[in-house]
């Protein structure tokens, strides 16, 4: 008995869509909506790390410290091998070049750009979310530190101001190269 066509056919190996941005930017929300619209899988790399280590992300970060956590995150990211998947990354993924280079081999990097005031409000509502932050650093410090890194790596810039999560998902879909939606995939 042979394999079904979808298992062996390269035409089904569409590139991924990778969402980057700060914690609280809406990567999981927008990514889930986008994946559902496309009929693709959604992978949240923070949840993957929690599942692999059986602990909350903030507990992992606190136990390891920022630099060791970033190395661990890069290791997990570089092990991802998927297609036709929307990937929501941790906000700190941009600190490790090897992780970012791997993500570029999987697909298109989309930066969800959210103002600092919105990020601060969202994180204040969910203080248990994992945040890779060094002692003495503020949220504003890492926001400004990461802005340039997101800009360097992104291939598509989604300004989320004046857009709902649904509108962001639609905007991304409308602005991706056509290679993401081949007619026979």
* Per-residue pLDDT tens over the stretch 79-95: 999 999 999 999 999 99
In the beta sheet, which residues pair with residue 44?
A: 88
Q: Is 137 left (phi over 0), alpha (psi -120 to 50) or beta?
A: beta
Q: Per DSSP, which regions of 34-129 are E strands?
A: 41-44, 85-88, 107-113
The ranges assigned to domains in the chain are: 13-173
CA distances from 177 to 16, 142, 147, 155, 174 (A): 12, 31, 24, 10, 8
- Hey, what are 183's tokens? 């007619």
DSSP element (H, E) containing 119: helix 116-125
Q: pLDDT-based confidence at 181, cuts 50/70/90?
A: low
Given a cut of 60, whether residue 145 has pLDDT beyond it is: yes
Model confidence, pTM = 0.88
Fold of 13-173: Rossmann fold (3.40.50)
What average pLDDT is seen over the chain?
89
The Cα–Cα gap between 19 and 25 comes to 10
Edge-to-edge strands, sheet with 85-88: 41-44, 85-88, 16-20, 107-113, 156-159
Is the model more confident about 135 or about 96? 96
* Per-residue pLDDT tens over the stretch 19-78: 999 999 999 999 999 999 999 999 999 999 999 999 998 899 889 988 999 999 999 999
Question: What pLDDT score was predicted for residue 131?
Answer: 76
């Amino acid at each position: 008995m042979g394999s079904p066509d979808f298992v062996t056919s390269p035409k089904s190996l569409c590139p991924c869509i990778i969402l980057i941005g700060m914690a609280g930017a809406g990567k999981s929300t927008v990514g889930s909506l986008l994946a559902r619209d496309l009929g693709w899988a959604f992978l949240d790399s923070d949840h993957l790390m929690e599942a692999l280590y059986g602990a909350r992300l903030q507990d992992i970060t606190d136990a390891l410290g920022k630099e060791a956590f970033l190395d661990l995150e890069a290791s997990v990211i570089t092990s991802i091998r998927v297609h036709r998947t929307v990937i929501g990354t941790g906000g700190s993924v941009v600190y490790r070049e090897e992780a970012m280079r791997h993500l570029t081999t999987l697909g298109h990097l989309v930066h969800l750009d959210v103002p600092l005031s919105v990020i601060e409000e969202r994180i204040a509502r969910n203080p248990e979310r994992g945040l890779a932050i060094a002692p003495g650093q503020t949220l504003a410090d890492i926001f400004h530190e990461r802005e340039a890194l997101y800009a360097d790596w992104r291939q598509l810039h989604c300004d989320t101001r004046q857009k709902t999560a649904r509108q962001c998902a639609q905007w991304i879909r409308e602005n991706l190269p056509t290679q993401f939606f081949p007619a026979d995939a």
